[in-house]
Structure 1
Amino acid sequence: MRNAYQLQFIAKKTNHRLILTNTRNDRSADLTDVIELMLLGVRPNDQLELNLHLEDDFETQDSSQNIMNDIEQVLVTP
């Protein structure tokens, strides 16, 4: 995955644990692990699932949505 380092950067700047799952091949990757992200094998029409694991109770829905928007932007950028 060409954008693995950008996804790793997003994961490192948040307090969430972020797991991306490719439903086509049933592989998951922690966004902090570039090797896992490269092995995820994402294709343009794949259905991906993002799981956010909150590290504290003070995170708002807005910050979670911002993280998801950042990740979506990385994935749609060629």
Structure 2
Amino acid sequence: MMRIAIALAGALVLAGCGASAPLKPPAGASMPTAPYGAQSEPTADELLRRDALAAPERSVELRRRSEERQDDPFDLPPE
């Protein structure tokens, strides 16, 4: 019973550690410089946003059932 209480208290403490304030650079540091050719410096939210190339959507249909694999001509034994 005591272990469950300790685990529950630890989970509650960890749940309260989330960031609720907007991101800012540490004291004495500045934001990264603007990329070459950009008109303005990117904000923290813009730096954290991923573009489509960084996280592409899956376009391959997953197999729903077991199927026999075709012979792979490049699957050679080690020499």
TM-score (norm 1): 0.20
From the two aligned structures, give the one with the greater helix fraction: 1
Task: Report which of the two structures shows the higher radius of gyration computed on alpha carbons.
Answer: 2
From the two aligned structures, give the one with the greater strand fraction: 1
**Greater relative contact order (CA < 8 Å, ≥ 6 in sequence):** 1
TM-score (norm 2): 0.20
